[in-house]
Amino acid sequence: MSKTSSEKRSPIARLNWLAVPSLGVLAILAIALSACGGSDGGEEASAATAGSASQSAPTSESVKLVIKSDEEQGKKGADGQWHDAFLPADFSVEAGATVEVTVYNYDDMPHSFTSAGLDTNAKIPSGTEEKASKTTFTFKAPDKAGSYEWICAVPCDPWSMAHNGFMKGHVTVT
Ligand SMILES: [Cu+2]
């Protein structure tokens, strides 16, 4: 142990000196690194669909939803006011797919994603503006294409509960 601590700066200085003629190697490394960096974005994009790629037989897909309250300017209604909303409230899935839904709730009120047609009743606990609650649930998309309504069954923003695109919406099965 004492030998390591006795090592001083000279090895580092030597390394620097050695690095000068190997600029070509560094350039190649830089290119390789930037190539890796470039694929990062793609990696993230494919991560969302990784579930569908790995489970080949019945298709699976994932959907991410965010809930924001009126105070957090969730979504502006036709009445000109901000309202609680699922963002988005309407989305499409493939017929027969296993759909994994992840909901981030930034509202300090609980909500639900309830749909008889989709055989789903997911309770979504409250979160905070700083830290959303995260809820993941899965439903099987019907084999029959069409538009399936869901509602929030937890009493919340009355206007939102009465208007599509806020606390109710449609899942389009294609
Ligand atoms: Cu609600």
Nearest-angstrom CA–CA distance, 134 and 126: 9
Fold of 59-173: Immunoglobulin-like (2.60.40)
What residues contact 10, with CB distance under 8 A and at least 6 apart?
A: none
Whole-model pTM: value is 0.67
Q: Which residue has the higher pLDDT, 54 or 137?
A: 137
Write the pLDDT tens digit of every residue in 83-108: 999 999 999 999 999 999 999 999 99
Distance CA 149, CA 163 (A): 12
Q: What is the pLDDT of residues 122-171, one digit of tens each?
A: 999 999 999 999 999 999 999 999 999 999 999 999 999 999 999 999 99
Higher pLDDT, 56 or 121: 121
Q: How far is the CA of 52 from the centre of ligand 1 (A)?
A: 29
| Highest mean predicted confidence (pLDDT) among 1-10, 21-30, 88-97 | 88-97
Residue range 34-53, pLDDT digits in tens: 444 444 444 444 444 444 44
* Residue boundaries of the structural domains of the chain: 10-53, 59-173
Query: Does the pLDDT value for residue 5 go beyond 60?
Result: no
1 pLDDT exceeds 80?
no
Q: Which neighbouring-strand residues pair with 135?
A: 103
Measured in Å, residue 103 CA sits from the centre of ligand 1 at 12
DSSP assignment of the chain, as one string? -HHHHH--SHHHHHHHHHHGGGHHHHHHHHHHHHHHHHHHHHHHHHHHHHHHHH--SS-EEEEEEEEE-TTTT-EE-TTSSEE-EEESS-EEE-TT-EEEEEEEE-SSS-EEEEETTTTEEEEE----SSS-EEEEEEEEPPSS-EEEEEE--S---HHHHTSBTTTEEEEEE-
Q: What is the mean pLDDT of residues 14-20?
A: 45
- How many angstroms does the Cα of residue 86 sit away from the middle of ligand 1? 8
Note residues around ion ligand 1 (Cβ under 5 angstroms).
Answer: 111, 152, 156, 167
| pLDDT for residue 58 | 74
